[in-house]
Structure 1
Amino acid sequence: MLETSARLLELLSLLQLERDWTSSKLADRLAVSTRTVRADIGKLRALGYPVDARPGVAGGYRLAAGTAMPPLLLDDDEAVAVAVGLGAVATQGLGVEETALTALAKLEQVLPSRLRRRVAAVREATSVVPRVEPPLDLSVLGAVAVAIRGRERLRYGYIKPGGGEAARHVEPRRLVSWGQLWYLLAWDLERDDWRVFRVDRMVAPVPTGARFPPRVLPDADVVEYVIGRISRGTWRYRARVLVHAPAVEVAAQFPAPLDIEVVDESTCRVELGADDPDRLALWMTQLDVDIEVIDGDELAEAFARLAARFHRAAGGASVP
């Protein structure tokens, strides 16, 4: 006969498998009396599991929806499926990336090694049409999320924008998803200041085991702070343009983060930048909408060069 705690887990697992169970059927599966089943049902209710009971010969028990989310039991296949699914959601731009990543970090922290290998095998054997360049390593993202949750310092290599790798030692605080990229806000221990790092440029993050008390964040709105740091710190050329398209459509078409201000339902102002204004101008032609440069001589000149090149390519044909 199973011990009480193990029997309760087995009973909970059975209730999650089928919609309705009679007392006698549960008693047979658990090798106990129907009186013990009733006692165990009462213990599950005390733990917060909403178990409904129906009286009579045809009555029985069922696990119902409650006002709070109780713990769930997953078998091996279900745990692997949930982990793989959460990893996919975290990179698909569905608006729940941070929540999915937090759930994934909690799950992978308790997965047995045999299931972690299965999850890794499924990811390695699966190919999808890439939406992020370079592709995001979920193991890196998961390691960072676990360190944030445990308030544990991280060491990792970081690929700088100009190439080359530098070592980093940080206190990680928040992950921010913007556009199709993930950014880490962390306190850089060597530079004694807040820094923002692109997760796809992080190499082999390793938790050091050293815990840290959380510092006061540099801004109450972490997302706005990260966006500002990215915008100010990574662009060599900056420009503001008026785009004759809804802000939602513009944001969806650009693979990189943008600072977008809604003007009206069909127009928005965009502040953006790049290291190469010619590449930025070519990139913006892919929107296939009218654009006006409000501020940014380099971008305006790049559009002029691009227009001349397109005109030569068209052999001087007039616009219909």
Structure 2
Amino acid sequence: MDSPSARSLRLLALLQTGHRWTVADLSRRLEVAPRTVRRDVARLRMLGYDIQSHPGPGGAYVLAPSIKIPPLLLDADEVCALVTGLLILEAGLADDSATTVRAKLERLLPPSLRQRAVAAAAATQVLTATHAVDWPALGMIADTIAVGQHLGFAYTDQHGHASNRIVQPYRKVLRHGIWYLVAYDTQREDWRLFRIDRVHEPEPRTPAPGYEAHPFPDESIHRWLITDFGRAAQHVN
């Protein structure tokens, strides 16, 4: 059986077609009782969707044409959590991608939830991160990890020394407001921490034939940093 949220999403998809749907038609399409259809319509109206009723045999519903359907059904608390997360990302990114996403989210939400999104943004201040990173770099790292590729990049360490690296990327880590890459350095044959704001011109690389991926040496990154932080700290280049 569908959850109420999943069923409401299906109901919205039907109403978005612009047709007038009778309760009986919706009941058959959604495979639920007529009273469940009416309850779901009432729930959507409470969320701010302008679903209009039309008199006639069995009654009919139609969604106001100005309403845009978001890809997910969110409640007020979920909207607040999502906006807060985007604000945190905005503070740590060098571009405006997270800001653009937040603006799109606000446009997609019904009025009551849009008001919550605007209120959450206005009432929240995240101090700008000193070391902002580019979203494309984070995205490329994620892609290489997902498909098992290596990552090549130019790197500038804390002393200003430049070098070229080829690594087996493992995870992106946000720690104390700074993004790091945990990776196995194939040239130095050791696990290292790289600050992503010091990574330049990253590009995926195909591993050499016969290369066997190195397993991460601990059960978790958190434990690795805590139990071996002296070594890990020395390897933050």
The separation in 2 between residues aligned to 1:172 and 1:26, in whole angstroms, is 45
The 3 A distance-change label for structure 1 pair 172 and 84 is farther
The separation in 2 between residues aligned to 1:158 and 1:215, in whole angstroms, is 22
Task: Give the AA of the match of 1:30.
Answer: H
Higher mean alpha-carbon deviation, 191-200 vs 138-147, is at 138-147
Query: Which residue of the partner structure matches residue 152 of structure 1?
Result: 149
Which of 160, 164, 167 does residue 167 from structure 1 map onto? 164
Query: Which residue of the partner structure matches residue 59 of structure 1?
Result: 38
Task: Give the AA of the match of 1:205.
Answer: P
Which of 65, 70, 73 does residue 71 from structure 2 map onto? 73
Conservation of the 8 A alpha-carbon contact between 1:53 and 1:61 = no
SS for the counterpart of 2:18 is helix
Query: Which residue of the partner structure matches residue 88 of structure 1?
Result: 87
The 3 A distance-change label for structure 1 pair 37 and 140 is same
Conservation of the 8 A alpha-carbon contact between 2:87 and 2:126 = no
The separation in 1 between residues aligned to 2:223 and 2:233, in whole angstroms, is 16
Query: Which residue of the partner structure matches residue 105 of structure 2?
Result: none
The separation in 2 between residues aligned to 1:28 and 1:181, in whole angstroms, is 46
Aligned residues: 169
SS for the counterpart of 1:216 is coil
The separation in 1 between residues aligned to 2:158 and 2:177, in whole angstroms, is 17
The separation in 1 between residues aligned to 2:19 and 2:171, in whole angstroms, is 46
Conservation of the 8 A alpha-carbon contact between 1:175 and 1:185 = yes
* 1:204-215 mapped onto 2 (5 Å cutoff): 204-208=201-205, 215=214
Whether 1:185 and 2:164 are equivalent positions in the alignment is: no
> 1:189 deviation in Å?
2.1
Query: Which residue of the partner structure matches residue 57 of structure 2?
Result: none
Whether 1:40 and 2:37 are equivalent positions in the alignment is: no
The separation in 2 between residues aligned to 1:158 and 1:26, in whole angstroms, is 53
Task: Give the AA of the match of 1:158.
Answer: Y
SS for the counterpart of 1:158 is strand
Conservation of the 8 A alpha-carbon contact between 2:150 and 2:167 = yes
Task: Give the AA of the match of 1:202.
Answer: V
Query: Which residue of the partner structure matches residue 250 of structure 1?
Result: none
Query: Which runs of 5 or more residues in structure 1 are unaligned?
Result: 1-8, 17-24, 43-51, 65-71, 75-81, 94-116, 236-320
TM-score of the pair, normalised by structure 1? 0.39
> 1:136 deviation in Å?
2.8
The separation in 2 between residues aligned to 1:35 and 1:54, in whole angstroms, is 7
Query: Which residue of the partner structure matches residue 194 of structure 2?
Result: 197
Conservation of the 8 A alpha-carbon contact between 2:182 and 2:191 = yes
> RMSD across aligned C-alpha pairs, in angstroms?
4.7
Q: Deviations over 1:173-198 (max 9, x none)?
A: 12222222222211222223222211
- Higher relative contact order (CA closer than 8 Å, sequence separation 6+): 2
> 1:145 deviation in Å?
2.8
Whether 1:217 and 2:216 are equivalent positions in the alignment is: yes
> 1:219 deviation in Å?
0.8
Whether 1:138 and 2:127 are equivalent positions in the alignment is: no
Identity fraction in percent:
25
SS for the counterpart of 1:217 is coil
Q: Deviations over 1:239-298 (max 9, x none)?
A: xxxxxxxxxxxxxxxxxxxxxxxxxxxxxxxxxxxxxxxxxxxxxxxxxxxxxxxxxxxx
> 1:36 deviation in Å?
4.8
TM-score of the pair, normalised by structure 2? 0.51
The separation in 2 between residues aligned to 1:39 and 1:200, in whole angstroms, is 55
